[in-house]
Structure 1
């Protein structure tokens, strides 16, 4: 087994993480449920890659994510930062011997659990805190489930409001002194200072060290950061420490943006600040990871990615579910169980480690460390359509600021397909998927230089707290229908129990606009004579030499992907 430690930094990153871990918890519950589909009992995924086994002080076995989550103080809502398994209440404050005056204690009432969290509490009392429950296989009535779904659709405020997972006491870290809705926590500089202030940086590093040092053969760190504001500065400093202390552990970085952070700034000053934040954040985070994956469209709900979805951009609960689904799919190869050289599984193929993916996508001649994430959700069946239409054309980008339909004969791709339907309305076999993908590339106008394929027959399970974002052309098992199945525009976990998925990471010159925009903004607002953002960058800790280094790095990346881009940049 090769372990992965997951890190989530920032509010939106934790929204995505909450959905991601719900998928894993659902897989565990379905595999343990005698009434489940055989495909879930034989998913051939090694959950120990993401989870750790332990026990409480009372000797009760536990199974928790190998996770470090960083967020604001108060971001956990009604959930205790120590989790629920270990029941470790904080020690009461002792008497201050140097003070002889009176002592007044102020305490706020704990937030009330919503209907979903209350139902989890009742389940735990019934089944003994196992942490393996599947949301649809318990004693709750249908009416109560509907009430829970409605409660979540209208009332999610914190990412813990819909989390069905038990966490280890070392997992959830709140930044002391920085509360939710804090004003001004919107740029790289303030985040950098927050990490360095007090003992925060040391405490966060210690949390990560706890999980890494108990690993036998760690394969990498899966790092998700809310990159729109100060949390990118927190992540940048954290990543630098990781690079210094764990030199040989590759970091796979997802830089995520929610749609509401893409709204037009209200002033020119704010526009300049946002553009320069994107530049320095990208350059710093890129410097300390092996592969950088930008995720977050300006409008997910209006994009082609959401052709069969019905979601609201203003709801992080909705949009984060799509991004979490894609990350779940693209990370499946890291946990596919590898059988012996003479054995083949009928449920999975295409296992690879994090470092294998990094070397494939970023280790080629162009050294392109920025990859594009595409997804097909739900993925269509392998029957009834031309091969290239139902497979490649349904993969739509979740990465912003890219050019589509570009010819790149040096492109490299890694694709994951799981749970898709083949002939006879049955889950497609491994060989069916392989043949379909091969045929798709043979019929495509352009094909990548190299493509790796991972396949799993197990679909994406839809747990109870998943939002109602499926359109009325999506069936119970994610099949795409010819006619609407209901009058309702959206369907949720009570109607859709699993969906087939396809996801792809690609290294391509389609990412050029993303790089060129950052290079252009750096020169226009930060380096040019009389640039309006020079003083702002200096306040963030970036001097002239730092900006020149960033300029050189971005220029080389642009030149590598397109030698002619430099000429146009210089002539502006």
Structure 2
């Protein structure tokens, strides 16, 4: 078996990860449910790639994500940093034997669980909640929590990523950056992150937790790393990447640099704008130089993008935006745990298994050693309908990577596509693996431009929609993700109570369409940090970077640009 270890670093990264693991938990539950759709039982997916089996001190068998999650102290809400399975209920108080004076204890009130978490852990309802549900003093105060109440409580009250997590975590998984006394709103650039983390043991402690999961793997295929690179978590991610490069030389890292819409709000002052531009350039350069493949994820406004054609998203809610990104990352991860085809393997449920390293090799190739890829998604993916299949799927794939060129013709582009749960021409029936393959091949044959190479992975298993998934589907999305010809009038948005599963398509592509993204960062680095009289020169020096280090970063970005398009040479005095 080729295991995958996942890291989540930063607030928005953990929002994305929380949804991602909810999908996996839902798949595990449906596989065991005798009344569930048989397609979830015949997934041809090896979930052990992402999960580890264990046992508590009481002898209870456990099945937990092979995960290390890092966030600021206090970011876990009502959840303990030891998770739930192994929580031994240690008391906050202790006997102090070496001090004879007065002792005062200051303890913060624990965060209250929302209705969803209360029902998940089987806790009794507070009297205030029963009152809100219309229960008077003469009625039984223990009322049943209905699914619609749980969904509404999440839509209106998610504050932490743990508020909607239905997953049980190993105590080695959840790590809070203790002793970091910084306002999360001000933890917003590479410099403040580097300063706050300098001299601490956080990097060593995180590496030790990572080592716990890696050392029990039989044959690790690589790391799936999700980082919120919009602020101070970038230098911490760099430290972890350096540790991985030192200890696990042959294990590739697939890095998703995710950002919520809030990180794209225009700064109010020129100083803040310069700081934001320099942070983006420094962060991307440092991160991309330490991983096999980096994928920028996060549009300035997901709700107004073509990717949300059939979605109903509130950009101001990380709970909403992270759900769409997590669904796409789930789709991309499926080929990493598909059962490889062998003499006795059944290809009727899944085909196109690859490892992380094979995807890296596909996208980098022999002639283009670029390390940045564009992410596209179709959510939901369209059905295979009659004679319109030639362009339908390709037309529905829309970018989730910001600042890229549109309708670019790149004869050297390479792609890796994952399609799962596609619906066939017949109403209510899923398309076979061979039908999807034929459709994609036909689409490329009829396309005006086609990639130099495309790897295709197909699975019949759709994306299951767990209860805590937000109500982000538009009123043209049906129960199984089919696109309705007539919208549902009385329901502008639909959630897990209305939509049970959806077909998905996701694509990673290496293309010169990403050049604007790279050129913007190289231009910012040179204009604001390197050029004579640069307005941000003193700022980056305060971050701890000398001019020669900035020039080295510029070389990293320049090389990525040149490998994508040798004709795209930016002048050293470019602004």
Interval containing the TM-score (normalised by the shorter chain): over 0.9
Alpha carbons 1:3, 1:50 under 8 Å: kept: yes
* Corresponding residue for residue 28 of structure 1: 28
User: Counterpart of 2:224 in 1: which secondary structure?
Assistant: strand
Matches within 5 A, 1:472-487: 472-487=475-490
Q: Per-residue deviation at 1:196?
A: 3.6
* Cα distance change, pair 266–571 in 1 and its aligned pair in 2 (3 A): closer
* Cα distance change, pair 142–464 in 1 and its aligned pair in 2 (3 A): farther
Structure 1 portions without partners, runs of 5+: 125-139
User: Counterpart of 1:86 in 2: which secondary structure?
Assistant: coil
Q: Distance in 1 between matches of 2:182 and 2:396?
A: 38
Within the candidate set 314, 317, 326, 1:315 is matched to 317
User: Counterpart of 2:474 in 1: which secondary structure?
Assistant: coil
Return structure 1 stretches of 4+ with deviation > 6 angstroms. Answer: 140-143
Provide Cα deviations, 1:2-53, integer angstroms capped at 9, x if missing partner: 1000000000000000000000000000010000001011111100000000
* Corresponding residue for residue 102 of structure 1: 102
Alpha carbons 1:51, 1:63 under 8 Å: kept: yes
Within the candidate set 458, 464, 468, 1:455 is matched to 458
Q: Distance in 2 between matches of 1:557 and 1:42?
A: 42
Q: Per-residue deviation at 1:99?
A: 2.4
Q: Distance in 2 between matches of 1:277 and 1:534?
A: 12
* Corresponding residue for residue 177 of structure 2: 175
Q: Distance in 2 between matches of 1:284 and 1:113?
A: 39
* Corresponding residue for residue 86 of structure 2: 86
Within the candidate set 376, 379, 382, 1:377 is matched to 379
Backbone CA RMSD of aligned residues: 1.8
Q: Distance in 1 between matches of 2:567 and 2:342?
A: 48
Alpha carbons 2:526, 2:573 under 8 Å: kept: no
Length-normalised TM-score, structure 1: 0.95
Within the candidate set 332, 339, 342, 1:340 is matched to 342
Alpha carbons 1:72, 1:180 under 8 Å: kept: no
* Cα distance change, pair 20–571 in 1 and its aligned pair in 2 (3 A): closer
Alpha carbons 1:329, 1:501 under 8 Å: kept: yes
Structure 2 portions without partners, runs of 5+: 125-141
* Corresponding residue for residue 55 of structure 1: 55
Within the candidate set 351, 356, 359, 1:357 is matched to 359
* Cα distance change, pair 484–385 in 1 and its aligned pair in 2 (3 A): farther
Q: Per-residue deviation at 1:343?
A: 3.4
Q: Distance in 1 between matches of 2:190 and 2:203?
A: 15
Q: Distance in 2 between matches of 1:300 and 1:569?
A: 34
Q: Distance in 2 between matches of 1:461 and 1:442?
A: 31
Within the candidate set 485, 490, 500, 1:497 is matched to 500
Matches within 5 A, 1:389-538: 389-425=391-427, 426-538=429-541
**Deviates most, 362-371 or 172-181:** 172-181
Matches within 5 A, 1:69-148: 69-90=69-90, 94-122=94-122, 144-148=146-150
Q: Distance in 1 between matches of 2:403 and 2:387?
A: 30
* Cα distance change, pair 394–183 in 1 and its aligned pair in 2 (3 A): closer
Q: Per-residue deviation at 1:342?
A: 5.3
User: Counterpart of 1:224 in 2: which secondary structure?
Assistant: strand
Q: Distance in 1 between matches of 2:540 and 2:390?
A: 47
* Corresponding residue for residue 45 of structure 1: 45
Provide Cα deviations, 1:282-333, integer angstroms capped at 9, x if missing partner: 0111111100000000000000000000010000000000000000001100
Q: Per-residue deviation at 1:177?
A: 1.9
User: Counterpart of 1:464 in 2: which secondary structure?
Assistant: coil
Q: Distance in 2 between matches of 1:116 and 1:216?
A: 37
Within the candidate set 257, 265, 278, 2:267 is matched to 265
Within the candidate set 552, 557, 561, 1:558 is matched to 561
User: Counterpart of 2:179 in 1: which secondary structure?
Assistant: strand
Alpha carbons 1:250, 1:289 under 8 Å: kept: yes
Alpha carbons 1:190, 1:233 under 8 Å: kept: no
Q: Distance in 2 between matches of 1:142 and 1:504?
A: 43
Q: Distance in 2 between matches of 1:188 and 1:568?
A: 26
User: Counterpart of 2:535 in 1: which secondary structure?
Assistant: coil
User: Counterpart of 1:423 in 2: which secondary structure?
Assistant: coil
Alpha carbons 2:522, 2:554 under 8 Å: kept: yes
The alignment covers a number of residue pairs equal to: 557
Q: Per-residue deviation at 1:192?
A: 2.5
**Deviates most, 537-546 or 292-301:** 537-546
**Deviates most, 524-533 or 551-560:** 551-560
Q: Distance in 2 between matches of 1:495 and 1:534?
A: 54
* Cα distance change, pair 567–113 in 1 and its aligned pair in 2 (3 A): closer
Provide Cα deviations, 1:52-102, integer angstroms capped at 9, x if missing partner: 000000111000000000001110000111011112233655444442211
Alpha carbons 1:430, 1:456 under 8 Å: kept: yes
1:294 matched to 2:296? The reply is yes
Length-normalised TM-score, structure 2: 0.94
User: Counterpart of 2:555 in 1: which secondary structure?
Assistant: helix
User: Counterpart of 1:391 in 2: which secondary structure?
Assistant: helix
Q: Distance in 2 between matches of 1:378 and 1:410?
A: 28
* Corresponding residue for residue 2 of structure 2: 2
Q: Distance in 2 between matches of 1:568 and 1:342?
A: 57
Alpha carbons 2:375, 2:506 under 8 Å: kept: yes
Q: Distance in 1 between matches of 2:496 and 2:94?
A: 48
Q: Distance in 1 between matches of 2:407 and 2:181?
A: 44
Q: Distance in 2 between matches of 1:254 and 1:72?
A: 19
Alpha carbons 2:421, 2:460 under 8 Å: kept: yes
Alpha carbons 2:76, 2:161 under 8 Å: kept: yes
